Amino acid sequence: MSLAPRFARLAAAARVGGGAAGSSSSSSVSVSRAATAASVAARRNYTSPSQPAKMATPVDVAMETKAGRGSTQKVMNNDIISEVLHQAPRASTAQRPIYLDAQSTTPMDPRVLDAMMPFMTNQYGNPHSRTHAYGWESESAVEKAREHIAQLIGADPKEIIFTSGATESNNMSLKGVAHFYGQKKRHVITTQTEHKCVLDSARKLQDEGFDVTYLPVQPNGLVKLEDVEAALRPDTSVVSIMAVNNEIGVIQPLAQIGELLKTKGAALAKEAGLGGKPMFHTDAAQAAGKIAIDVNKMGVDLMSLSSHKIYGPKGIGACYVRRRPRVRLEPIINGGGQERGLRSGTLAPQLVVGFGEAARLAHQEREYDYAHVSALAARLRNRLLAEIECVLVNGDPEGYPGCTNLSFQYIEGESLLMALKDICLSSGSACTSASLEPSYVLRALGLDDENAHSSLRFGIGRFTTEEEVDYVCEKIIKVVHKLRELSPLWEMVQEGIDLKTIQWSG
């Protein structure tokens, strides 16, 4: 069953009267594969579910079933999620809210689904079965996928270990290396702006008696090389610094850090008679497929990858584990010895194949995707900054453009989100048990609580369209102006009062 060609044909037909999303952005950048780009743009149109007018096959789903994504359950009035999805079509012409949350997850590319289908139906062999054809065909597909993933990051396929996602790869890298060296090397370095799963793995190691240094970042979100150097100890076993930050898109200087570990890190360990350099781990969940990655040029020893951030299926990821010189780590999952003994358990060929196809496409279309995403990000940012006053751009402006983080001062991001029910975005506040906490990443940049709470993250991806960006801009401009009109704080700012000088009572 092949879905993509059918979608492409339908989408091409729909484009005749609809204009091609992506084509205008591709014209503003130099990408040589014009023909490929045009056919990709056709496919992209189909998968813009929030733009039904542009959809090849607009489907009129009954209101009762829409919120449940096709389930036949009635919409529950007290179910906030259902309510939002239920109201979205009334708030705009969209059938589904516009999705601008590409760091959270990405929609699966139809070409990925095509590749997966046979392994969910008649090619169901266990890839570890060595005695018959069903096993062999699954194994061969798994190995092909491994090659695609390796190619995306400049690795050897034997260095790719499949896991359930970047969370597992991060746990495996930090705990695995620290546990392997145990008493001999008791120090770990990471940064304050890592993903929770790195920070929590580090905390767990601290509970076990390891020392952890959490490096601060500069106001633009970048770590200082001098800080990394100063933190190195002879007994540092692993340094974990992410490639692209998931909240602000900042790109850390991996190649320089890799070099520092090979020189200063190795020298410190040698002087103390502790052998090899510290292992360099990077969480590249938001980087692979988005920016150029080469594990050798960057001197990386371990790298975490996630399929669902690159238009592949959820529930699968990988850990790159260097073979020469060999990285030593203790597995966190034991069993049948699959995946070089580092991650036991039967692989899920359909997920592996989907991840492999997503990686192949990301590698093949990276330049096109980057150009598309950066053109849309510039369009969004320029318009919002031109038409709204008092907007802060959070994070290094040279970061990954598909992750744009802006603070709309004197407005709560959460109130903004409530007024933007037909747009899916993330705010700079995280729900803890009872309260809204400002994002620890934004706080690490030095933002105060108010500016952190007033931030929104715009996650632009392969299937985002110009029309969606324009709709979002118009809506945000309108809502920000309206909320500020109602805000006594904004009135005081207009009167020239410095809010920091006010003593609030109560």
CB 316 within 8 A of CB 351: yes
Nearer to ligand PLP, 306 or 409 (CB): 306
Lookup: tokens for 103: 């760091």
Of the pair 166, 384, the CB lying nearest ligand PLP is at: 166
- Residue 414 CB: number of other CB atoms within 10 A? 16
Coil, helix or strand for 18? helix
Of the pair 244, 384, the CB lying nearest ligand PLP is at: 244
CB of 316 to ligand PLP, least distance (A): 8
At its nearest, how many Å lie between ligand PLP and the CB of residue 173? 11
Residue 172 makes contact with ligand PLP by CB under 6 A: no
Q: Which of 37, 112, 178, 242 binds ligand PLP (CB under 6 A)?
A: 242
| Contact residue for ligand PLP among 149, 166, 212, 444 (CB under 6 A) | 166
Task: Walk across the sheet containing 391-394 and list its strands.
Answer: 391-394, 403-408, 455-459, 426-427
Give me the 91-130 binding string for ligand PLP, x by CB under 6 A, dash otherwise: ------------x---------------------------
- 191 vs 407, which CB is nearer to ligand PLP? 191
Told to check if 174 binds ligand PLP by CB under 6 A, we report: no
The residue among 47 and 246 lying less far from ligand PLP, judged by its C-beta, is: 246
Site string for ligand PLP, 281-300 (x = CB under 6 A): --x-xx--------------
Q: Does residue 165 belong to the site contacting ligand PLP (CB under 6 A)?
A: yes
- Is 167 a binding residue for ligand PLP by CB under 6 A? The answer is yes
Minimal distance in Å, beta carbon 160 to ligand PLP? 15
Instruction: Give min distance, CB of 102 to ligand PLP, in A.
Output: 10
Is 248 one of the binding residues for ligand PLP (CB under 6 A)? Answer: no
- Considering beta carbons, is residue 198 or 384 the nearer one to ligand PLP? 198
Shortest reach from residue 164's CB to ligand PLP, in Å: 7
Q: Select from 70-78, 162-170, 199-207, 490-498 the region that touches ligand PLP (CB under 6 A).
A: 162-170
Active-site residues, by number, are 431
What is d(CA 197, CA 306) in angstroms, rounded to the nearest whole number? 13
Least CB distance from residue 26 to ligand PLP, whole Å? 27
- Establish whether the linkage from the previous residue to 89 is cis, with ω within 30° of 0: no
Answer yes or no whether residue 221 interacts with ligand PLP by CB under 6 A. Answer: no
| Residues 422, 414: Cα–Cα separation, whole Å | 14
Name which of 164 and 409 has its Cβ closer to ligand PLP: 164
Amino acid at 426: S
Applying CB under 6 A, which part among 49-57, 161-169, 380-388, 394-402 lies near ligand PLP?
Answer: 161-169
Amino acid making up residue 441: V
The strands making up 187-191's β-sheet, listed across from edge to edge, are: 160-163, 317-321, 302-306, 279-283, 236-240, 187-191, 211-215
Residues of span 394-433 touching ligand PLP by CB under 6 A: none
Determine contact, residues 484/396, Cβ cutoff 8 Å: no
Do 223 and 395 touch, CB atoms closer than 8 A?
no
Residue 23 or 173 having the CB closest to ligand PLP? 173
Contact 334, 340 (CB under 8 A): no
Question: Both tokens of residue 111?
Answer: 């070409």
User: Of 119, 163, 122, 121, which is closest to residue 141 (Cα–Cα)?
Assistant: 119
**x-marked contacts with ligand PLP along 177-196 as a string, rule CB under 6 A:** ------------------x-
Of these, 26, 306, 407, 429, which contacts ligand PLP (CB under 6 A)?
306
For residue 197, state whether it binds ligand PLP (rule: CB under 6 A).
Answer: yes
Rounded CA separation 493/490 (Å): 5
Are residues 66 and 95 in contact, defined by beta-carbon separation less than 8 angstroms? yes
d(CA 21, CA 26): 9
Residues 6+ apart with CB under 8 A from 198: 170, 174, 190, 240, 242, 283
Selected from 246, 427, 429, 455, the binder of ligand PLP by CB under 6 A is 246
> Which segment (27-35, 165-173, 366-374, 454-462) binds ligand PLP by CB under 6 A?
165-173
- Least separation in angstroms between residue 243's CB and ligand PLP is 8
Q: 101 vs 114, which CB is nearer to ligand PLP?
A: 101
Rounded least distance, CB 276 to ligand PLP, Å = 26
If one counts every other C-beta atom within 10 angstroms of the C-beta of residue 244, the result is 26
| SS3 annotation, 146-208 | HHHHHHHHCCCHHHEEEECCHHHHHHHHHHHHHHHHHHHCCEEEEECCCCHHHHHHHHHHHHC
C-beta of 299 vs 317, nearer to ligand PLP: 317
Which residues from 255-274 bind ligand PLP, rule CB under 6 A? Answer: none
Q: How many residues bind ligand PLP (CB under 6 A)?
A: 13
SS3 53: helix
Query: Which residue spans within 192-316 are E strands per DSSP?
Result: 211-215, 236-240, 279-283, 302-306
Neighbours of 314 (CB within 10 A): 16
Q: Which residues bind ligand PLP (CB under 6 A)?
A: 103, 165-167, 195, 197, 242, 246, 283, 285-286, 306, 317
